[in-house]
Structure 1
Amino acid sequence: MRAFEQNWRKLVKLSALLRSERGTLALTFALSATALLLMGVGSMQLAMISSGKSKYQSAADTAALAAIAPTTDNNKMKEVAEKTFMANLNASERAAVVSFSVTTETGRVRSALISYTANQATMAPGLVGGSYTPISGTARARKADYRYVDIDLWLDGSGSMGVAADEAGRDKLRLLSKDDPDHKNCAFACHIPTHLKESNLYSTSEQRAHANGVKLRHDIMKESVQILIDELHDAYPRGLRARYGVARMAADWERQLAFTSDMDTARDFVGTFQLKPGWSSSRLTPALQTGGGTLSSGAGDGSQAKPEKFIIIVTDGMQFDWTAISPGPIGSTACQTLKEKGYRVGVVQLKYVRLDGDGAFEYWVKPYYDQITPALQACASAGYYFHADNPDEVRTAFRQLAKTLEESLRLTE
């Protein structure tokens, strides 16, 4: 009997244990199934949200493009945008739209900025958050007409542009020419022919300067004008279409490069720009008057038929022609005439390095030295005057000029 009772108790314990394990297994299964269900519904909900975002964004992109299409009138841009947006959604998607707005810009630049919000219904509100998920986004389209401009580069080609670009170059030139029988200690107009050929290496003092690493004022001018062309060419993808012309101002005004839209041609030509040969005078005011006489009205609207017109004057600002004209700074009347014709006049003043002790500088330039800058400031259109005291500042000035031109043209991204 005792053995029977012991066996019976063992059976009861085993039965209880089995019942307990079945409950645990059932609970574990139930929890796992719920988690799997939530994960599945959540994944499907995320997929729906992603699909919904894609659908609404595609509709907004299409609407923005329709708004700025050439066939859309300015006063119809918002209406066309909204109709196009809704037309690219099904009935339930349209019903879910909470807000839709359009901001437009018209004129040479046309743009449409669309903002939207929609409440997309969830699959199982009780399982994954609320009854809807907000979806929002923006779409933007911009189109700018090409901006056509003519940039006429009027470069000082007079003898004084052969002066060294800075004081260190001036002193080096004087040392290099100390034995020149014709131009001893030359620092002024150092592009002139020289009899001292130094083993036939140099036929001009300009060549002597270049062979010894001395930058002259007109070297910096050429490099910097090329920087201007490069900077403006960078704006080409954003709508700027520029033509370049080149004229030389010295004893007179001379057209040297007819207007060309080929940037490389203009850039290469500037690189070969030469000063007026010989003892060239600086008749800047008469040169401006002559150049202005060749011009028609410059008041263009930026279209291909009527490009906006700029004259960029690069000079040291000092003129003299011995006894032919009075020495002094560039005259203001000729500049005013250019502006009255509708041209925007930019002026880049290259520093006139002092040449104290040089006879020509002392007699012709020094008495008027402090008048140069105010005269050039008056010559330029408002905001278009730039001054540079050394080669690095010259390059900076031309980059600033390029930026000013771009901003004035309201180029778009």
Structure 2
Amino acid sequence: MRRLFNALASFRRNASGNVAMTFAIVCVPVIAAVGCGVDYSRTNQIRAKLQAAVDAASVGAVSRTSPAFIAAGAMTGDGVISVGNDDARSIFNGNMSGANGYTLDRLTPEVKKTGAVLTATVSFSATVPTTFMSIVGYKTMSLQGSSTAKASMPKYIDFYLLLDNSPSMGVAATPADVTKMVNATSDKCAFACHDYNDANNYYNLAKTLGVTTRIDVLRSATQQLMDTAARTQTYSNQFRMAIYDFGASSKTIGLRALFSLSSSLTSAKSAAGNIDLMGVYGNNDSFTADKDTPYTTVLPAINNEIATPGDGTSGSPLKYLFFVSDGVADESNAACLKPKASGNRCQSPINPALCTALKSRGIKIAVLYTTYLQLPTNSWYMSWIDPFNKGPFGPSPNSEIAQNMQACASDGFYFEVSPTQGISDAMNALFNKAVADARIAG
């Protein structure tokens, strides 16, 4: 019996196995903690993939080439866009193709149009099975996430082009062309006047000489503008165009529609080919007595043609007036800004007050000033135009003409074309600015 007691006492005093036993006991929570970290890290990787997929789905669903964006353009009201929901789901699935280690419990895309804004919200929930955490009772980990993207829809805009085709737009387009005309005419005239009473008029002479006039450049620029609009629009009917001038001849002078408002930009380009210089009937024309730039009648008339501007949606487009002119009135006007020439003739810079009525209605006016070139060999020009066609330091851009044309324009929508610049580039620049301005304003 004593031997048994001695053996038990010896066992009780022996500590040689304590480290191993302690290590075994401590390893359980350590291994569990490391395992939880592995599970958590893997779950975070899956979460990142899922979040990236819903981000791609929300952004892609409202991109400008997406089915939802196209469908929204045809909608007259607000609402959910089912093809957008399908597209978002497809984008998500494409981004998660080949990924595993999770179960997708829910994917909820919602693409909708509200006013001029397209919104895509994509949310998900998923579960990820655990390996080590299951030891402590957590067999799965739940994941949730969402992403929202918004896009402003393109604005619908109606453009009204008011093109000055009065005789002064028959002036040679460049200094070289001016010189060519001056050298070829007995009275040193740079104007290619379209005079029906003279078979050998300077209009025909300019064509014979190959002289390019301002009206020629304007015609080409207007046609190119239609190509720019066609390339720029997102929807086939986003932009509508109307083209007006001051009349075919002095006999029928007044606002004339060369092309009524339409979304057919191809037809508008074709109609722009008919832009031409106003015809007159000799000196002291029996119809207008040479007063062929009637701003005080043409601008109010175009105001009556333009409907109330809207908010830029498909059924309520914005309204822009593109006014292209050399800025000199020539008419019978009791409220002339300058001393009248003989025969009660008012030749003066445009009166900016004529543009106020349009701008006060919310119509944006883009003014392209085709610089009135100085014509020192023309006595009439030197007597009546030159005094207000130069500023304190010389000719434009300090002239009264330039200042009044700029005052006519809406803020930021004035462009002056010098003799060496292109009207086409200027018109395209104004058009692009109008589209950008409409997007920002919206």
Normalised by the length of structure 2, the TM-score is: 0.61
Partner deviation per Cα, 1:92-132 (whole Å, 9 max, x = no partner): 2459xxxxxx9x9965132448799x999999xxxxxxxxx
Structure 2 counterpart of 1:237:
234
CA deviations over 1:320-375 (Å, ceiling 9, x no partner): 24534421111111100111122111100001111112022112211221210000
CA contact under 8 A between 2:226 and 2:265: conserved in structure 1?
Answer: yes
1:45 — aligned with what?
A: none
SS in 1 for 2:372: coil
Contact 2:104 2:127 in 1 (8 A): no
Residue matched to 1:26 = none
Which residue identity does 2:194 align to in structure 1? H
Distance in 2, Cα, partners of 1:216 & 1:404? 27
For residue 378 of structure 1, report the CA deviation from its aligned partner: 0.4
Residues 148-157 or 298-307, more deviating:
298-307
- Relative to the length of structure 1, the TM-score reads 0.65
Q: Over residues 367-393 of structure 1, what are the superposed CA-to-partner deviations in whole Å (9 max), with x where a residue is unaligned?
A: 221210000000001111111103534
| Percentage of pairs with the same residue | 25
Describe the SS at the equivalent of 1:161: helix
Letter paired with 1:387: E
- C-alpha root-mean-square deviation of aligned residues, in Å? 4.6
Preserved contact between residue 158 and residue 275 of structure 1 (Cα < 8 Å): yes
Relative distance call for 1:258 and 1:105 in structure 2 (3 A) is closer
Q: What is the letter of the counterpart of residue 418 of structure 2?
A: D
Q: In 1, distance between residues paired with 2:242 and 2:420? A: 24
Is 1:249 aligned with 2:240? no
C-alpha distance in structure 1 between counterparts of 2:417 and 2:355, whole Å: 20
Tell me, in whole angstroms, the C-alpha distance in 2 between the residues paired with 1:211 and 1:301: 49
Match 1:300 to one of 300, 305, 310: 310
**1:312 to 1:91, Cα distance in 2 relative to 1, 3 A:** same
Counterpart in the other structure of 2:273: 271
User: What CA distance in whole angstroms lies between the structure 2 residues aligned with 1:63 and 1:406?
Assistant: 23
1:338 aligns with 2:358: yes
Q: Secondary structure at the match of 1:402?
A: helix
Q: How does 1:354-393 map to 2 (within 5 A)?
A: 354-369=374-389, 370-390=399-419, 392-393=421-422
Give the gaps of 5 or more residues in structure 1: 1-48, 96-101, 124-137, 179-183, 198-202
1:316 aligns to 2:326 (yes or no): yes
CA offsets, 1:269-313, max 9 Å, x none? 112212221155343421334414524653212233322111111
Give the letter aligned to residue 241 of structure 2.
Y
1:209-267 deviation line (CA, Å, top 9, x unaligned): 22322110111112222232222221223676111111112653223321121111111
Instruction: State the alpha-carbon separation in 1 of the partners of residues 123 and 375 from structure 2.
Output: 65
Letter in 2 for 1:192: D
Relative to structure 1, the CA distance from residue 399 to residue 94 in structure 2 (aligned partners, 3 Å threshold; closer, same or farther) is: same
Tell me the equivalent position of 2:263: 261
1:122-271 to 2 correspondences below 5 Å = 145=153, 147-178=155-186, 184-193=187-196, 195=198, 203-237=200-234, 241-249=238-246, 251-271=253-273
Structure 1 CA distance, aligned partners of 2:378 and 2:232?
44
CA contact (8 A) 2:192 2:206 kept: no
Counterpart of 1:407, as a letter, is: A
- Going from structure 1 to structure 2, the CA distance change for 1:121 and 1:227 (only over 3 Å counts) comes to farther
Kindly report which structure 2 residues correspond to 1:399-410, keeping only aligned pairs within 5 A, or say none.
399-410=428-439
Cα distance in 1 for residues equivalent to 2:56 and 2:303: 54
Question: How many residues are matched?
Answer: 329
Match status 1:57 vs 2:78: no
How far apart are 1:169 and its partner, in Å? 0.4
Task: Point out where structure 2 has 5 or more consecutive residues left out of the alignment.
Answer: 1-44, 63-67, 73-77, 132-145, 248-252, 282-289, 332-340, 390-398
Partner of 1:237: helix, strand, or coil? coil
Decide whether aligned partners of structure 1 residues 234 and 63 sit closer, same or farther in structure 2, where only a CA change above 3 A counts: closer
Q: Distance in 2 between matches of 1:63 and 1:282?
A: 55
Q: 1:142 to 1:293 in 2, by over 3 A?
A: closer
In 2: Cα distance, 1:59 partner to 1:386 partner: 42
Superimposed CA distance per residue, residues 24-74 of structure 1 (whole angstroms, 9 cap, x where no aligned partner) = xxxxxxxxxxxxxxxxxxxxxxxxx99x9699738952896499996449x
Cα 1:107/1:168, change in 2 over 3 Å: same
